[in-house]
Amino acid sequence: MSKTAVSTENAPKPPAKFSQAVRKGNLLQVAGQVAFDPATGAIVGDDVVGQTRQTFKNIEAVLAEAGASLADAIMVRVYLTDTAHFAPFNEVYNELIGDAPHAARTTVYVGLPGELLVEIDVLCVLD
């Protein structure tokens, strides 16, 4: 069973040598996405709410290219730069993640480059 890279112009190009997502069999791993505008490369949103919305747009674009959606997610990893961002992030996350059953989620606090406040990666199982 081979691995297949997933790539779309509707999400930012990776800054290093990795794919936006990789599929092997029925597993799809979406690489960490951030709030870059795919057309300009500029950060969208000056707070965690705006950046989370753009990050999810980028995730959904990669998922769509793979024939998937957030409903296929079984694991979501969230990287935040500040514990104070947890509550506003959760409000947007709960709005966007969709109906139950919800994917498992891990939240990690890290340093991200520049003015980035959030990064999210997603693991999906496809039918």
What are the tens digits of pLDDT across the range 62-77? 999 999 999 999 999 9
| Main-chain dihedrals φ then ψ at residue 49, nearest 5 degrees | -65, -50
pLDDT class of 127 with cuts at 50, 70, 90 = confident
Residue with tokens 């059953």: 101
- Separation of alpha carbons 101 and 81, rounded Å: 27
Average pLDDT value for the chain = 96
Please give the C-alpha separations between residue 53 and each of 4, 68, 77, 86, 90, in angstroms, as whole numbers: 27, 18, 15, 14, 11
Confidence of residue 99 (pLDDT cuts 50, 70, 90): confident
Question: Taking the alpha carbons of 106, 54, 73, 88 in that order, is the dihedral positive or negative?
Answer: positive
Of the pLDDT bands very low, low, confident and very high (cuts 50, 70, 90), residue 81 is: very high
Query: Which pTM was predicted?
Result: 0.96
| Rounded average pLDDT over 86-107 | 92
pLDDT-derived band at 98, boundaries 50, 70, 90: confident
